[in-house]
Chain A
């Protein structure tokens, strides 16, 4: 398979991920719930992963809370900072993982910066919106549809300047771009474990600089006589048994990323993305390409985007079509009605993938879709 859907989840994970998961299944008990060998082995797995995440994302191990997904972490962060009716600023490229929790809370959503690959517009609109005293700001580091790298350092700086607490969605950047809780000064940064960090599905991290409100309540293995949740992190956010096999796999994935180097992984993915963008543009497709872009590329085919992707799937090439759970981003780019075909390169990006994709596209036969 030519897998070009790393924006959805990374595929072809390093073998060490599955090996670590198997070891955890065989050796680990319930972390933080006992003093015996199996419980302590599990506690070590969890702590090692926190420590590694702390070194990758510049925070303390205790500030790393395990979640089941980036969406889970975003929900915690948003529910902590936002109350019903609160004005909240978001970028024009947010995923439903941001917009749906805000809608659910009844927040007054203010969208700022909708021009694709235009950091000046993003920043100007962002500052204008922050001047109007929102209660919080939530923004993505990278658009999951277009790969647009938002100017997050400057956006974060503006938030700090105007005293607006903020959350960063690092779903598409963690493992590919530098992400630092310390440098960005965010209240929360949420990320999945299964995308750029190469861990298994069902894992995620929430980096916490502020005191969060728990979304789940229950046993933590600590302070058991209290009937409210512990104040201290990470236990405050970790009611119930942790996904230790998943966390072991996540640590192995992060280890791979750390060894390979995020910059190298990004460079390879961007190189292939640029090659695809150039080739598809020259064939007359409407391609969304810009200077601040990761290995993710969207284009509008002449045919229905889902049919186009299905034709590629029949040739064992995996891309994603449609709205990519981000109607706001499509609205910003003017593709809400058509959707796009998204190609997203990952840690294994190679010229061979690009050649096979482009050859397959050349051979697509219109009018024969879904047959």
Chain B
């Protein structure tokens, strides 16, 4: 299974994003953002399945939940930023 990380500046918008996605039936997991992904330091992310990433991003935009970036997680632990 491949996953993406949607990053947020802090825990509060990440939590609202979590509620929005779950309400829409999209499974997601809230966790800390890997340090290298968060330039300003100390953020939170939602992990979603890759095939749900575009739909999730659109849903968050529709609900005005501000997120920072979306990364595709590689098996080697690296990530690739996506433009969705």
Are A232 and B13 in touch, CB under 8 angstroms? yes
Contact with B along A28-57 (1 / 0, CB 8 A): 000110110000100110110011000000
Q: Is B32 within 8 A of A35, CB to CB?
A: yes
- How far is it, in angstroms, between the C-alpha of A31 and the C-alpha of B17 when the chains are bound? 17
Contacting residues of chain A (89-114) with chain B, CB-CB under 8 angstroms: none
* CB <8 Å contact, A234 and B40: no
B65, closest chain A residue (CB): A62
**CA of A310 to CA of B14 in the docked complex: distance in angstroms?**
52
> With A51-B19, A232-B66 known to touch, is A224 a contact of B40 (CB < 8 Å)?
yes
Residue in B10, B16, B30 whose CB lies within 8 Å of A61: B16
Q: Chain A 203-226, CB within 8 Å of chain B: the 1/0 string?
A: 000000000000000001111111
Residues of A within 8 A of B12 (CB): 32, 46-47, 50, 61-62, 234-235
Given contacts A34-B32, A225-B40, A232-B66, whether A220 and B10 have CB atoms under 8 Å apart is yes
What's the minimum C-beta distance from A30 to chain B, rounded to whole angstroms?
Answer: 11
Which of B10, B30, B31 is the one whose CB lies under 8 Å from A235?
B10
B49 sits at the interface (CB 8 A): no
Interface size, chain A (Cβ < 8 Å): 25
Q: Which residues of B come within 8 Å of A, CB atoms? A: 9-13, 15-16, 19, 30-32, 39-44, 66
Q: Ordered nearest first, which 5 A-B pairs have the shortest CB separation?
A: A222-B10, A35-B32, A224-B41, A223-B40, A32-B11
Known contacts A61-B12, A221-B42, A222-B11; 12 additional CB pairs below 8 A are A32-B10, A32-B12, A43-B11, A46-B12, A51-B19, A62-B12, A220-B10, A221-B11, A223-B9, A230-B9, A235-B9, A235-B12
